[in-house]
Structure 1
């Protein structure tokens, strides 16, 4: 397998008052050739835009960029309805949707929405079952009856649209194994990058589960949420004392991300601000106009069609 073209996107935590700013940023990213934008999904926060309403709105005002929730708050969005949402968005946008999935983390707030609290193990089981059911309810075919532990549907017709790729925000061993069995991509939690201990210990769990399920682990990409500053001049150090990436000049970013793809198998990157929130418009512009093209060119040149790193993710 040759090294694939890395994906580049930006992430946002958009409040209602800045909805127009989100659209401007997404339209600029669309023009600049970025691959995706992601929105957080916290429906219990009244000042935030609803992730899926915003994704649909932005997709309707752009042409190429894909949208995803990073990650979907599954307990508040039952899988059969989520399947209808993402297949509809895919049909309306020409396939420009990724399904970002999570088991649910802030259960105190989730239960405040009237959703029954699930023990951690049950939440992960529901997460895996939901991915399976979303896929059953896509791609056409005969009516679906599904009688699982957490979801039941009776003779429901699948949408005549393929299911979108599924990226998960798995953190614990059980959810990581579920990612290996049923997902297409993994977004490491806590903004862990390719040099972090979390990545080194978590990715093998995905790979082992994928292999046990008869899948090629290399088919499951790793897309990193990556906070950092984009500076005019090179920084003396691009990582802090704990080894966490803090940013640098466009050239420093390009060098680091090229190594991440070629040496550590990174599949893509979603840019956030240094504090983990939405980046400013100018930085997203430099990300799309300078850094992403430089990395793509370097990867294409250095890979040269050779086999990918054996740990390709």
Structure 2
């Protein structure tokens, strides 16, 4: 598995009718594939996230959507970024992602995390638990899921989950990759060092040097060569040939969160959502990503384009701009 350039769709509010919604999703996946992206991601949430939209904004169920994308694409890997372990029974999740792998001809990636959005848990009747409990559950889940993906039949009796010789057939391969997503330097990075093929780091860009150091420390603790754990960074991209246009869009997005970029100091900016945003012309964005992300020791980029990803030509421009950085 290699994820060097991924395209995430976190937003299904396209100003279309519901009947036109999934065709717009399919179109983005096809454009990403044609533009040189190697992986397409959707979120595994029931409600839209704070900072992106209202809870009742459109949100598709991840694995149903990914199966539809499998039929519409040929080469790109397909994954959730990331599956919420709290509302996915582990052996059933192993079965689900393996079926996606069969349906797609060996293109599935299991993206997984501990879960964090309390509102959707409460609304849908899933136990949320404490921060510590959610990571205990993820640890146990990975002890079940990883062997099931490798063709083993695990029995496991933990605090949260129990399985008896759980069978996972059919499988198209024994190396379906596991991606962990998050920014926790102890728990998330520790689990990634033990179980993952890929870690998608979610944090402000200014934090990346510390995150990379922490990941190397977690790998050392379990005797793993950090070079065997591929990394990427989740980037919020606002890019257009008209740099002033996207800078205005950034102001509008941040303004909707009550953030006035013009009144912030450099230190304040590094603590804000703006530090995860890469804004400007293609050349400007490429320079930002090279110096702020890739030069810090990160292997690849996963981008989303919440403002204009569904607009004609936007994904093609992103692929043309970013592929040379990670090839």
Say if 2:146 and 2:195, in contact at 8 Å, map to a contact too. Answer: no
The size of the alignment, in residue pairs, is: 286
Match of 1:40 among 36, 43, 46: 43
The residue number in structure 1 matching 2:161 is: 151
Say if 2:33 and 2:73, in contact at 8 Å, map to a contact too. Answer: yes
Match of 1:247 among 249, 272, 279: 279
The residue number in structure 2 matching 1:305 is: none
Please state whether the residue corresponding to 1:48 is helix, strand or coil: coil
Say if 1:6 and 1:268, in contact at 8 Å, map to a contact too. Answer: yes
The residue number in structure 1 matching 2:256 is: none
* Residues 208, 147 of structure 1: alpha-carbon distance in 2 compared, 3 angstrom cutoff: same
Structure 1: 4+ residue segments shifted above 6 A: none
Match of 2:66 among 55, 60, 63: 55
Measured in 2, the distance between the counterparts of 1:279 and 1:227 equals 14
Please state whether the residue corresponding to 1:232 is helix, strand or coil: coil
Match of 2:302 among 264, 267, 270: 270
In the TM superposition, residue 262 of structure 1 has moved relative to its aligned partner by 5.6
Measured in 1, the distance between the counterparts of 2:107 and 2:81 equals 15
Match of 1:171 among 183, 189, 201: 183
Measured in 2, the distance between the counterparts of 1:204 and 1:217 equals 10
The residue number in structure 1 matching 2:6 is: 9
Match of 2:317 among 286, 305, 311: 286
Say if 2:4 and 2:38, in contact at 8 Å, map to a contact too. Answer: yes
Please state whether the residue corresponding to 1:286 is helix, strand or coil: helix
Task: Provide the aligned C-alpha RMSD in A.
Answer: 2.8
Please state whether the residue corresponding to 2:149 is helix, strand or coil: coil
Match of 2:27 among 24, 28, 32: 24
User: 1:1-313 maps to which residues of 2 (within 5 A)?
Assistant: 7-12=4-9, 13-14=11-12, 17=18, 18-44=21-47, 47-141=58-152, 143-159=153-169, 160=171, 161-172=173-184, 173-190=186-203, 192-193=204-205, 196-197=206-207, 199-232=208-241, 241=266, 242-243=269-270, 244=275, 245-259=277-291, 263-273=295-305, 278=309, 280-288=311-319, 290-296=320-326
Say if 1:134 and 1:163, in contact at 8 Å, map to a contact too. Answer: no
Per-residue CA deviations over 1:15-55 (Å, capped at 9, x if unaligned) read 58221101011111112221111111112566311111001
Per-residue CA deviations over 1:178-205 (Å, capped at 9, x if unaligned) read 2222222222225x23xx12x2333333
Measured in 2, the distance between the counterparts of 1:19 and 1:211 equals 44
In the TM superposition, residue 139 of structure 1 has moved relative to its aligned partner by 2.5
Please state whether the residue corresponding to 1:225 is helix, strand or coil: strand
In the TM superposition, residue 153 of structure 1 has moved relative to its aligned partner by 0.8
* Residues 254, 202 of structure 1: alpha-carbon distance in 2 compared, 3 angstrom cutoff: closer
In the TM superposition, residue 103 of structure 1 has moved relative to its aligned partner by 0.5
**Structure 2: any 5+ residue segments left out of the alignment?**
48-54, 251-260
In the TM superposition, residue 279 of structure 1 has moved relative to its aligned partner by 5.4
TM-score, length of structure 1 as denominator length: 0.81
Say if 2:84 and 2:113, in contact at 8 Å, map to a contact too. Answer: yes
Per-residue CA deviations over 1:158-191 (Å, capped at 9, x if unaligned) read 334325222222233322322222222222225x
* Residues 136, 62 of structure 1: alpha-carbon distance in 2 compared, 3 angstrom cutoff: same
Say if 1:187 and 1:224, in contact at 8 Å, map to a contact too. Answer: yes
In the TM superposition, residue 80 of structure 1 has moved relative to its aligned partner by 0.5
